[in-house]
Amino acid sequence: MSASTYDSALDAQLPLGCDGRPIVLSTHGLTKDFKRLRAVDNLDLSVCRGDVFGFLGPNGCGKTTTIRMIFGLTYPTKGYVQVLDHKLPRDRVEALRHLGGFVDDPMFYGNMTARRNLRLFGEMNGPVAEERITEVLEAVGLADRGKSKVGGYSHGMRQRLGIALALIHNPDIIVLDEPTSGLDPQGMKDVRELIRELGARGTTVFLSSHLLHEVELVCNRAVIMSKGRVIVQGLVSELHPASHAVKVLTGDQSKAWEIISAMAAPGSARHDEDYIVVDSGDGFVPEMVRRLVAGDVDVLAVVPAIEQGLEDMFLELTAEGEIAKSAGAPPAGAGGGK
């Protein structure tokens, strides 16, 4: 599949960021109020040409409301979205020519084939060649199911068909709202691999997710949201807070807990399903293992706790935000919204 088409002359006129690449999608003071609820609060973010950009935050932090404003489906209370050189909501029609994607789950006619659905929905925004339909079906791994009725598709196949529709007109930017939501592990893996392949081809992807691990796997840059506001944005490799925690599994977790909690700093050990998680410093792990063995506790596994929960991450970053606020930063907005 060919990469998204774009006007290099136009790119030369766009503001630069991200190591000199043009900014193709940005928000400027974007705010949305619903009566007494502020769903999005003064949001500033920028997505550069070729990014796979993670829009990360827990359910209810304002992600879907933001995407609705990006597509012009709801108007901001103040601020605006910019797609290339077009501002929304003012230039909605022109901006949408450069966008593809979906909000919430993509919807199709179950009694029609995938090809017919792509033709029907695609032609709402201009002519669609049969060769292009074949091309996008191949890109999302549905070439052999193009003549099957969508009513017989699994949820994961529908998600991939939604991405095919997003690609149909070769947009500059693909916007995907929780594309792995509700999928089984294999379906999640398939969609992630597809997004990774799109990024490798140079397609700019804006990926909304509440899963930190998902963003780490497929995105190069990301923004973290909480209560409608940006907590931090930048390279994904720099967003994960430093942690030296390890996960411990033994043959006797009750006795292991007594030993570990006695030697660890107060509050640094906790339970996580079948594991004991403990924040460790230099020399802690060898000494812990020695004490467990000396206490006749079989040590089955000691592994880095690299998948720190997103909630823990928010606690750390929000604490930093509170410090910044006490130093004079604007107060956080109230409320959420998906």
In a domain, 310, yes or no: no
In a domain, 309, yes or no: no
Confidence band of 332 (pLDDT split at 50, 70, 90): very low
Same domain, 88 and 224: yes
pLDDT tens per residue, range 95-119? 998 999 988 888 999 999 999 999 9
pLDDT of residue 243: 61
Q: Which of these three, 185, 204, 239, is where a domain ends? A: 239
For residue 145, how many other CB atoms are within 10 A of its CB? 18
pLDDT exceeds cutoff 70 at 308: no
In a domain, 284, yes or no: yes
Closest alpha carbon to 57 in 69, 70, 45, 74: 45
In a domain, 138, yes or no: yes
Same domain, 154 and 279: no
Say which CATH number the domain at 13 has: 3.40.50.300
Same domain, 189 and 265: no
Number of separate domains in the chain: 2
Closest alpha carbon to 82 in 15, 142, 19: 15
pLDDT exceeds cutoff 70 at 80: yes
In a domain, 215, yes or no: yes
Report CA-CA distances (Å) from 103 to 166, 187, 208: 11, 19, 10
Same domain, 101 and 249: no
Same domain, 231 and 266: no
Same domain, 209 and 60: yes
Same domain, 233 and 294: no
Report CA-CA distances (Å) from 46 to 23, 51, 83, 206, 230: 6, 10, 10, 10, 12
Contact 68, 74 (CB under 8 A): yes
Q: Which of these three, 239, 266, 281, is where a domain ends? A: 239
pLDDT of residue 105: 81
Query: Which residue reads 């022109």 in tokens?
Result: 94
Q: Which of these three, 239, 255, 274, is where a domain ends? A: 239
H or E element, residue 225: strand 221-226
For residue 87, how many other CB atoms are within 10 A of its CB? 16
In a domain, 337, yes or no: no
In a domain, 153, yes or no: yes
How many residues appear in the chain?
338
Give mean pLDDT, residues 305-323: 55
Same domain, 48 and 178: yes
Same domain, 12 and 125: yes
Confidence band of 314 (pLDDT split at 50, 70, 90): low
Closest alpha carbon to 183 in 213, 160, 206: 160
Same domain, 153 and 250: no
For residue 299, how many other CB atoms are within 10 A of its CB? 15
pLDDT of residue 307: 53
In a domain, 317, yes or no: no
Contact 53, 31 (CB under 8 A): no
Measured CA to CA, the distance from residue 293 to residue 284 in angstroms comes to 14
Q: Which domain holds residue 264?
A: 245-304
Same domain, 213 and 88: yes
pLDDT tens per residue, range 143-202? 999 999 999 999 889 988 999 999 999 898 999 998 888 788 888 888 888 888 888 888
Same domain, 215 and 268: no
pTM: 0.72
For residue 244, how many other CB atoms are within 10 A of its CB? 13
